[in-house]
Amino acid sequence: MSKVTEVVEELLTPIVTELELELVDIEYVKEGKNWFLRIYIDKDSGVDIEECGIVSERLSEKLDSLDPIPHNYFLEVSSPGAERPLKKEKDYQKAIGKNVHIKTYEPIDGEKIFEGALTAFDGETVTLEVKIKTRKKTVVLPFDKVASARLAVTFS
């Protein structure tokens, strides 16, 4: 985590806690000539634009007073969306029973991309039930080999 995201997380945690929201992720990235500070928040019933606005205003006030970012940037506060990333162990726990899309750092059984129902997570392994044509197969992935994971929207 970069120094900027660490400072922003410290400033943001009391705000989201007070509003009973979950801080999903913080990104601080340069795209072209511009820097973006992206905050992703959520709650069980989903967040709306008003909640995003409140978080943005409160965070902006704190950032303006402390000025931890030395150059201009765009602040964006939003929901992580339907295909929210799974970053923390609790994200995996909450996703049990849901469809997920996982990429690994290296091939496992010749594959680096897995998509299926998350059936178990114990902190060391991620267990999926993947569908291969007409049959289902259980795949167990070492958690430390997971490069990225997100919820996967599926259409029946």
pLDDT tens, residue by residue, 15-52? 999 999 999 999 999 999 999 999 999 998 889 999 99
Q: Hey, how many other C-beta atoms are within 10 angstroms of the C-beta on 142?
A: 12
State both tokens at 108. 């496992």
CA distances 82 to 2, 12, 44, 125, Å, are 26, 23, 12, 24
- Give residue 154's pLDDT band: very low, low, confident or very high (50, 70, 90): confident
The pLDDT of 54-60, averaged and rounded, is 96
Q: What is the pLDDT of residue 45?
A: 87
Domains plus CATH for the chain? 3-78 (3.30.300.70), 89-151 (2.30.30.180)
pTM of the model: 0.77
Single-letter amino acid code for the residue at 110: G
Ramachandran region, residue 127 (left: φ > 0; alpha: ψ -120 to 50; beta: rest): beta
